[in-house]
Amino acid sequence: MAAAQNKVKLFENVLNQEIISLEEIKKLCFSGCPEEASIRATCWKLLLNYIPPETADWKSHLKKQRESYAKFIDELVQNSVENDNDSSTKDHPLNTNPQSDWNQYFKDNEMLCQIDRDCRRLSPGLAFYQYETKYPYGKIFKSNHETNPLRKRLAGIALSAEEIHTNKVGTFQKNKEIKKKAPEQLSDGEEYHWEVVERILFVYTKLNKGQGYVQGMNEVIGPLYYTFATDPDQSGQENAEADTFWCFMNLMSEVRDNFIKSLDESKVGITHKMQQVMEVLEKIDTPLYIYLTKNLEVKPQYFCFRWITVLLTQEFDLPNVVRIWDSLLSHEKRFDFLIYICCAMLKLIRGDILKKDFTAALKTLQVRLY
């Protein structure tokens, strides 16, 4: 107990400085942030370069960033072509011009459906995302819509699919399955945490068109949103959406190469990182390395592709993931350090692996939650 309080004190001493020493924060975070106050949320924002070390600038900086995010929402979520009632525009849904706003709108719908499918099944083991947020769309953004426009848009997509279906088969069966899929248990103005994550990803993808949405981004965003949305500080919690967005942007700028297919075989791509895991393993545990690669012919892409791509979010419970991220975000080599964590994970189960044949070893390697 005393030790825990002591730890909080240590953090507070550093965080209460006018200009925070990032070096000291990194040192402290590396052995884990305490749950108290909003220490973790604040530290992560510092570590991800979202807020500056000068504490006096925080207020104005956060205000500016949160306002810019609200502008993105306004432009990309609120004002889509379907809500554009200006009859003077020449654009229309059947416009075949690739530059047409409607053409883009339908392309975005495909991406939105993809994001939607993945966000609904975000961390199924944890109830958090299936709970309502206290700060839904209507409360956070100035808008004449009380409800998240994306929900309406998704419902529209499901509906048009239903219409096509009835035309084709020629019956007028009402479809219950589609209805069930829409988050209708919540009334207008309420929304689930996963819907907030969905909106952040939609905005991120719209702003990073070249990269697009890749499965796994939803997992990477998880620990950030969870940390900010459960921040004991009310203003932090209220602005979790905007803060998560910016921190996610900064985090992705460091790990995005993992998500880009054309870089797979390059020095910065995922294949190289998986090889690094095996190279380090060879040095620190040669017998295990030999058993895996020579005896079993297990390739790193059979197990550590997921570990690296989604930064271990799938291998542990969220509270443990958050703890690992404390170290990962504060280590000076940051994502190179991930390689060593992967090797540590292998070391932990080495005894098990060394006894097993190919099938059983692979199952052990792939099991979630250490």
Partner 1 sequence: MAAGPYNYSYIFKYIIIGDMGVGKSCLLHQFTEKKFMADCPHTIGVEFGTRIIEVAGQKIKLQIWDTAGQERFRAVTRSYYRGAAGALMVYDITRRTTYNHLSSWLTDARNLTNPNTVIFLIGNKSDLDAQRDVTYDEAKQFAEENGLMFLECSAKTGENVEDAFLDTAKKIYKNIQDGSLDLNAAESGVQHKPSNGPRGANLGGESSGNKDPCSC
Chain residues binding partner 1 by CB under 8 A are: 114, 117-118, 121-124, 161-162, 164-165, 168-169, 173, 175-178, 214-216, 219, 259, 261, 264-265, 270-271, 295-299, 301-302, 305-306, 309-310, 314, 355-360, 362-363, 366
| Cβ proximity to partner 1, 141 vs 194, nearer residue | 194
**CA triple 125-129-132, angle to 5 deg:** 140
Residue type, position 25, single letter? I
| Cβ proximity to partner 1, 122 vs 249, nearer residue | 122
Nearest approach in angstroms of CB 45 to partner 1 is 27
Neighbours of 76 (CB within 10 A): 17
| Cβ proximity to partner 1, 90 vs 174, nearer residue | 174
| Cβ proximity to partner 1, 5 vs 301, nearer residue | 301
CB-based contacts of 14, cutoff 8 Å, min separation 6:
20, 21, 24, 25, 28
Nearest approach in angstroms of CB 103 to partner 1 is 17
DSSP one-letter code for 83: G
**CA triple 216-220-225, angle to 5 deg:** 130
Nearest approach in angstroms of CB 15 to partner 1 is 35
Contact, 16 vs 307, CB < 8 A? no
| Cβ proximity to partner 1, 22 vs 362, nearer residue | 362
Helix (H, G, I), strand (E, B) or coil at 268: coil
Backbone dihedral region for residue 295 (phi beyond 0: left; psi -120 to 50: alpha; all else: beta): alpha
| Cβ proximity to partner 1, 311 vs 329, nearer residue | 311
Contact, 240 vs 228, CB < 8 A? yes
Nearest approach in angstroms of CB 30 to partner 1 is 27
Contact, 274 vs 337, CB < 8 A? no
Quickly count helices (H) and strands (E) in the chain.
Answer: 19, 0
Nearest approach in angstroms of CB 55 to partner 1 is 39
Nearest approach in angstroms of CB 259 to partner 1 is 7
